[in-house]
A = this chain, B = another copy of it.
Amino acid sequence: MSLTLDAAAQDLLFREAQTANTFTDEPVTDEQIQAIYDLVKYAPTAFNQSPLRITLVRSEQSRQRLVNHAMGANGPKTLSAPLTVLLSVDLDFHEKLPTLFPHAPGVKDAFFSELATREAAGSLNATLQAGYFILGIRAAGLAAGPMTGFDFGGIDKDFFGDGKQKSFLVINIGKPGADAFFPRSPRLAFDEAVATV
């Protein structure tokens, strides 16, 4: 069964791409991140709410502050990456809905006046966007190293003191270095992951 997506793109994004654990020193530029953003921003979120915020952790002080919240090997791995980004949910994403969803500006107040609703919807949709962003990193010819082993509550206090942004994922980005990849682990068979009713 052939896909419409060409084989080179399948390999780049999925089949040959793997999570990188080491990186070369080659810098990752703001222009590369902008090219990634300008691609993945088009992928869908509910009501186009676009709640994902991306923080490029570039200064030495910020990098050190971030790894203070890392678990296990994630600290040294992060310090060895040319760029690390912190992904978070903007809990005030609804303020931008009149611009982002112009044909139904009432959505902001009809659905998103409650913080708990924004936390749930924002978390779901920002995480979808994180999936798109990981593939966007690969689309730029770079390797991604996504990590959840951080104290995100501690990060939020250090980076987003106002409580309006909730971090949930850290991603190292760069060109893969020596021994960057573990052997590919098995995936679930189709009938383990997919059922018909």
Contact = CB atoms under 8 A, between A and B. Distances in A.
A56 interface: yes
Contact of A131 (B8, B19, B129, B194): B129
B134 A44 contact: yes
Interface in A1-57: 1-6, 8-10, 12-15, 17-19, 30-44, 46, 48, 50, 52-57
A190 B37 contact: yes
Interface of A: 1-6, 8-10, 12-15, 17-19, 30-44, 46, 48, 50, 52-59, 62, 96, 99-103, 121, 124, 127-132, 134-135, 138-141, 144, 146-149, 159, 168-169, 182-188, 190, 192-197
Copies of this protein, total: 2
B188 A43 contact: no
Nearest to A197: B62
26 contacts: A4-B140, A5-B138, A5-B139, A13-B43, A19-B44, A30-B196, A37-B190, A37-B193, A38-B190, A44-B134, A46-B146, A50-B188, A54-B194, A55-B196, A56-B194, A56-B195, A59-B197, A96-B188, A96-B192, A100-B186, A103-B183, A103-B185, A124-B148, A124-B169, A128-B134, A132-B135
Contacts of A19: 44
